[in-house]
Amino acid sequence: MDGNIVIMTPYFICPDLGAGFGIPKDAEVIKTNDIIEGSPCLVIDEDRPQSLFNEYYATGGVASGYISVSYLHNTYIDCFDEFHIEITNVEKALKDICLLSVSSLSIIYKSLYINLITILDSFLCSIILVKLIRDEELFKTYYEKHLPQHVQRNLQVYLLNDEKAKWEQKYIMEVLKGSYCNVNTIKDIFKLFDWSVPCLHQLAQHFHCRHLLVHRNGRKRDGTYINIDQPTITKLIYDLKEFVNETMKSIR
């Protein structure tokens, strides 16, 4: 583009960005949208987003006061490291609570169980975004095959109005809002991404247990309650680590 690029949002990233370039004959020239200190500028902010999949080169300069949010620049290793940091925090908490009363421990163990499943859900969301943001074709395919129909209908208006960049931002928000701790969801997404699907038998049991804890306070069909103790938490941590390790082998 002929002018300066000014980035005023953390919700932007692109494959490449440069300043001081001439305009190639075959390049798409993006119009500037603002004047700053007398110079024409392409301002990229939340109201005036640009596509995450284009490369941008300015004849003038590039300025940004923001670092993009982590989910836009994370690698798979970053997601793996974040998962283990959270797991380590839970393991430390297990050591800190050992002197509490039995009744207090019961409540805390239930909360830790739910939290651990949430840590996995966050990991899954993170690696999904890493994959999607680096592959524009897959970004479109995931939208068509995985997002619920009502969500697609709500987002379609941006495409109809030729607002592709806004569509991308709204779409990413929907991915961030999604829930991924479901065996069928994991299978469908992993197959779409051509990732090997680890054994999900243990996770299925954990997801069911988490569902009962969150929605029924742990009460089972027969009226009895799930007992969550330290060995249960330790087993869950082991199973989550196994699943994440197997997943990392597939996606590297």
CB 110 within 8 A of CB 213: yes
Least-confidence region, from 17-31, 140-154, 161-175: 17-31
With bands split at pLDDT 50, 70 and 90, how would you rate the model's confidence at 103?
A: confident
pLDDT at 22 over 80: no
Whether 120 and 242 have beta carbons less than 8 Å apart is answered as no
Cβ neighbours of residue 171 closer than 8 Å, sequence gap 6 or more: 139, 143, 147, 155
Q: What is the pLDDT of residue 26?
A: 75
- Listed by start position, the domains of the chain span 4-68, 73-251
Based on its alpha-carbon atoms, the radius of gyration of the chain, rounded to whole angstroms, reads 23
Distance CA 175, CA 130 (A): 11
> What mean pLDDT do residues 216-221 have?
92
Whether 224 and 163 have beta carbons less than 8 Å apart is answered as no
pLDDT tens per residue, range 43-75? 999 999 999 999 999 999 999 988 899 999 999
Q: Is the pLDDT of residue 25 over 80?
A: no
b vs e for 168-189, b when ≥16 Cβ sit within 10 Å of the residue's Cβ? bbbbbeebeebebbbeeebeeb
Percent of the chain with pLDDT over 70: 99
Average pLDDT, whole number, for the chain? 93
The residue behind tokens 């990233």 is 13
* Residue whose structure tokens are 């928000």: 173
18 in Cβ contact with 57 (< 8 Å) = yes
Residue indicated by tokens 């069928």: 184
Q: What mean pLDDT is predicted for residues 221-231?
A: 93
